[in-house]
């Protein structure tokens, strides 16, 4: 996979500090899976955190190491298996951080049509808390309205491709838009384009279809 659009330093630092929302983390982890360059940058960002740990002013702890180990010897291991044991259907072309969230294969998802050539699958019903977290299914040839972003939005290309003023986005690429990019994406792949999207702030819904598509289209 040739990845040509990467995460920004800002997002990588935020991810390392652990201050991103779960949807944003998912997008970042998807790209890090397919991009060793960014994974390496994320490791550097982690090591900054480690360095700050060494410099920190310690608080007073009340339990000694020996007491802790004595107590642990009597108690079971709580910290045991994490999410890894959860079976997840392997889906070709879908990084694990995303495929874990999908109940079915991509095409079988319960897509909702929101405009001609555009379908949506919500990954979270907690928009008000987290912002939008969804997949968009866009037919070849669809042109999204010109729009700009005022807030952070991450888009990960799961399938197909699109082009806009920033460039051509293909599978594995991430559009890490932060600021006032003005663009008008055109779906230019032969197969439908599927994009995973997370926005930082809640989407404001209104009757206007453009508002519904705001996270991607941002009209």
Partner 1 sequence: MNTLVPNPSGKPSDTAVALRQRMSNNLAAIGQEQDEAAFADFYSYYAGRVKSFLMGKGMNEEISEELTQEIMLTVWRRAESYDPKKAAASTWLFTIARNRRIDYLRGNSRIEVELDDEMLDVETTDTDPQAQFVENAQVAKRLKRALEKLPQEQRQVMHLSYFRGQSHGAIAKWLDLPIGTVKSRIRLAMQSVRLSLEGEDQDLLNDYTEKS
Smallest distance, Zn ion to C-beta of residue 121, A = 25
| Separation CA 131–CA 124 (nearest Å) | 9
State which of positions 18-47 bind partner 1 (CB under 8 A). Answer: 18-19, 22, 25-26, 28-29, 32-37, 39-41, 43-47
Does position 72 interact with partner 1 (CB under 8 A)? The reply is yes
Does position 39 interact with Zn ion (CB under 5 A)? The reply is no
Does position 86 interact with partner 1 (CB under 8 A)? The reply is no
Does position 181 interact with Zn ion (CB under 5 A)? The reply is no
- When CB distances are held under 5 to 8 angstroms depending on the partner's kind, the choice from Zn ion, partner 1, none that residue 79 binds is partner 1
Query: Of 103, 127, 136, whose CA–CA distance to 199 is shortest?
Result: 127
Smallest distance, Zn ion to C-beta of residue 6, A = 3
Smallest distance, partner 1 to C-beta of residue 115, A = 29
- Decide: 96 and 33 in contact? Cβ < 8 Å: yes
Helices (H) and strands (E) in the chain, counts: 8, 11
SS3 54: helix
Does position 35 interact with Zn ion (CB under 5 A)? The reply is yes
- Quick one: which segment of 32-40, 42-50, 106-114, 189-197 binds Zn ion (CB under 5 A)? 32-40
| Separation CA 117–CA 119 (nearest Å) | 7
SS3 99: helix
């Amino acid at each position: 996979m040739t990845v040509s659009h990467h995460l920004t330093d800002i997002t990588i630092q935020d991810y390392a500090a652990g201050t991103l929302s779960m949807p944003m983390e998912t997008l970042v982890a998807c790209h890090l899976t397919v991009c060793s360059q960014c994974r390496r940058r994320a490791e550097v960002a982690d090591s900054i955190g480690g360095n700050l740990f060494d410099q920190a002013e310690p608080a007073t702890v009340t339990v000694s190491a020996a007491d802790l180990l004595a107590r642990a010897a009597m108690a079971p291991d709580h910290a045991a298996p994490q999410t890894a044991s959860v079976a997840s259907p392997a889906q070709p072309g879908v990084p694990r951080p995303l495929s874990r969230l999908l109940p079915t294969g991509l095409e079988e998802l319960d897509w909702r049509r929101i405009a001609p050539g555009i379908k949506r699958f919500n990954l979270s019903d907690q928009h008000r808390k987290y912002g939008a977290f969804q997949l968009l299914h866009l037919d070849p040839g669809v042109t999204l309205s010109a729009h700009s972003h005022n807030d952070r939005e991450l888009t990960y290309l799961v399938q197909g491709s699109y082009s806009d003023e920033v460039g051509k986005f293909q599978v594995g690429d991430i559009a890490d838009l932060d600021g006032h990019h003005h663009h008008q994406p055109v779906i230019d792949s032969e197969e439908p384009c599927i994009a995973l999207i997370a926005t930082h702030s809640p989407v404001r819904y209104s009757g206007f279809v453009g508002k519904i598509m705001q996270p991607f289209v941002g009209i």
